Amino acid sequence: METDRLITEFKLNLIIQRYSASTIKNYSSAVKSFLQFAEKKFNDPNELGVIDIEMYVLWKIERYEISSSHQHMIVASIEKFYNFVFGKDLNIKHLYPAQKQKSLPNYLTQSEVKSLIGTVENLKHKCIIMLLYGCGLRLSELLNLKIKDIDHTRMMIMIRNAKGYKDHIVMLSRILLDEIRMYAKQYIPKDFLFEGQSGRMYSPKSVQTIVKNYAQKAGINKHVTPQILRHSFAVHLLENGTDIRYIQNLLGHQSIKTTEIYTHLADISQVKIKSPLDFL
């Protein structure tokens, strides 16, 4: 099919441009849906104009009530598709959603994290939650962790091919190391630290469900996700006086501006900042 050929060509270009696997999957899926729409109007998607793309985006908004972030992804994928495959620079910047004011991320208090971990009896699940919080890992970073990435000698963990294909290092807590050792002895993972069926990478959905269920069991009245645990890691480091530049490196942020959002969340009463009155 022509659509399959175009999608394959698009994927190859994304791979060459070093886009992440998740981005390639999302962009390809978005373009495939768009091409199926295009086939109903024209045999050749190259014949579609900006107005046709506008109508498609409007249809997605009205029919499926897509979010602004989903709309942004759809427009970006179509724009890149026409650029990569047909060599066209479409004038569709106006189809991107207006910049919304970013809301502050949610996070757990230290007592809530303690309560969460305390409810976990399954050793594998406990290691997963402790790694997400204790190392501030993204879900994808957790799933890609391999046994060889745990350096018990230097008490650190190597995070490879993180967002932006950038490696970085995080600290390894002695408490966490003890849990990992007990887990490895019981489960005997071969390659990935957390393995699913047949030794494959563990499922993202499984990790999300684990975090959600234990949060509910702990009586935490918040929507708790792996990303919330990562936010909590950053906020608690800041509250304990860790320099924001170190937090930036631990989170693998390319820009300090991304990390600075946590300064709005930290409890000022716990941050080691004194009032100018104290210097008088």
pLDDT of 277 reads: 42
- Residue 224's SS3 state is coil
Check whether 155 has a pLDDT greater than 50. yes
CA distances from 91 to 27, 34, 54, 72 (A): 19, 17, 11, 15
Structural contact between residues 90 and 194, judged by C-beta atoms closer than 8 angstroms: no
pLDDT band at 180 (very low <50, low <70, confident <90, very high): very high
Distance CA 26, CA 134 (A): 29
pLDDT band at 270 (very low <50, low <70, confident <90, very high): low
Least confident of 69-73, 199-203, 246-250: 199-203
pLDDT band at 280 (very low <50, low <70, confident <90, very high): very low
Q: What angle do CA 273, 274, 278 make, to 5 degrees?
A: 170
Q: Using one digit for the tens of pLDDT, what is the confidence trace for 28-39?
A: 999 999 998 888
Q: Using one digit for the tens of pLDDT, what is the confidence trace for 235-265?
A: 999 888 888 999 999 998 888 888 888 888 8
pTM of this structure: 0.67
Least confident of 177-186, 196-205, 213-222, 224-233: 196-205
Share of the chain above pLDDT 70, in %: 91
Check whether 273 has a pLDDT greater than 60. no
pLDDT band at 42 (very low <50, low <70, confident <90, very high): low
pLDDT band at 43 (very low <50, low <70, confident <90, very high): low
Q: What does 140-167 look like in DSSP terms, one character per residue?
A: HHHHH-BGGGEETTTTEEEE-S-TTS--
H helix or E strand, kind and range, residue 111: helix 110-118
Please, what is the average pLDDT of the chain?
88
Structural domains of the chain, ranges and CATH numbers in brackets: 2-95 (1.10.150.130), 110-264 (1.10.443.10)
State the average pLDDT over residues 31-50: 82
State the average pLDDT over residues 177-184: 96
Burial degree of 117 (CB within 10 A; 0-12, 13-18, 19+): middle
Q: Using one digit for the tens of pLDDT, what is the confidence trace for 96-135?
A: 998 765 677 889 999 999 999 999 999 999 999 999 999 9
Check whether 153 has a pLDDT greater than 90. yes
pLDDT of 37 reads: 83
H helix or E strand, kind and range, residue 171: strand 168-171
Structural contact between residues 7 and 32, judged by C-beta atoms closer than 8 angstroms: yes
